Amino acid sequence: MTTRAPLPRLGWALTGSGHYVQETIDLMRRMPKLDIFLSKAADEVLRQYGKDLSGMQEGTRIFRDGAASAPPVGNFYKGHYHTLILGPATSNTVAKCVVGISDTLPTNVFAQAGKQRVPAIVFACDTRPIMDTEAPSGWFKVYPRPVDLENTEKLKAFSYTTVVETLPELEEALFARMAEIGEAVA
Ligand SMILES: Cc1cc2nc3c(=O)[nH]c(=O)nc-3n(C[C@H](O)[C@H](O)[C@H](O)COP(=O)(O)O)c2cc1C
């Protein structure tokens, strides 16, 4: 029998994306009982943008991608998480999630959340044929390929998964979920 944790937490997986990264960090700072999972690329990209994960709510934990078997994901099997946010999600991570690959911390927590029927909200980077996105040097246009857009669409068919395409959609889905489980957001 699985022992359920008395106070489940919010898991948030960050990938190596600069897409609305500051706005995402600002949202994370408002979340109570938060565990953050970083891919190796997320760690690098945050540094390139000069961003850090300071200022999170007290008790926030940060897990980095340092082991092949991703030991922190075991907590999904102990009922430690009520919800997983995956985002911003790179085209790389979305593609892996779609075909069931789980070889990074974010793809692994997504897979384990799915196997435990923990609801996931994915903020996909590649959602339209032409998009504005932010590089460390400023804003520029990006043209996601058909394969990137197809993968985002395919992920929408996954059970226990909500794919959001914009920051307001992410906020709406996240706040609705926090309200649903009775967690107050700062
Ligand atoms: C500054 C910077 C910004 C990036 N932003 C994005 C992005 O918005 N979307 C994307 O798909 N890849 C982006 N990449 C590329 C990913 O970081 C790269 O594909 C990486 O392998 C993704 O690994 P991950 O999916 O495991 O995090 C960016 C790379 C750099 C250096």
Query: Does domain 9-180 correspond to CATH entry 3.30.70.100?
Result: no
Q: How far is the CA of 180 from the centre of ligand 1 (A)?
A: 32
- Distance (angstroms) between ligand 1 centre and the Cα of 76 equals 25
The torsion angles phi and psi of 136, rounded to 5 degrees, stand at -55, -25
Q: Which of 48, 51, 47, 3 is nearest to 23 (CA)?
A: 51
> How far is ligand 1, taken at its centre, from the CA of residue 60, in Å?
24
Q: Are 31 and 58 in contact (CB under 8 A)?
A: no
- Distance, CA of 137 to CA of 14 (rounded, Å): 21
Q: What is the C-alpha separation between 24 and 124, in angstroms, rounded?
A: 12
Residue with tokens 């934990």: 61
pLDDT 10s digits, 30-82 = 999 999 999 999 999 999 999 999 999 999 999 999 887 777 888 999 999 99
Rg of the chain over all Cα atoms, to the nearest angstrom: 15
Q: Which residues of the chain have pLDDT under 70?
A: 1-6
The pLDDT of residue 5 is: 52
Give residue limits of the domains in the chain: 9-180
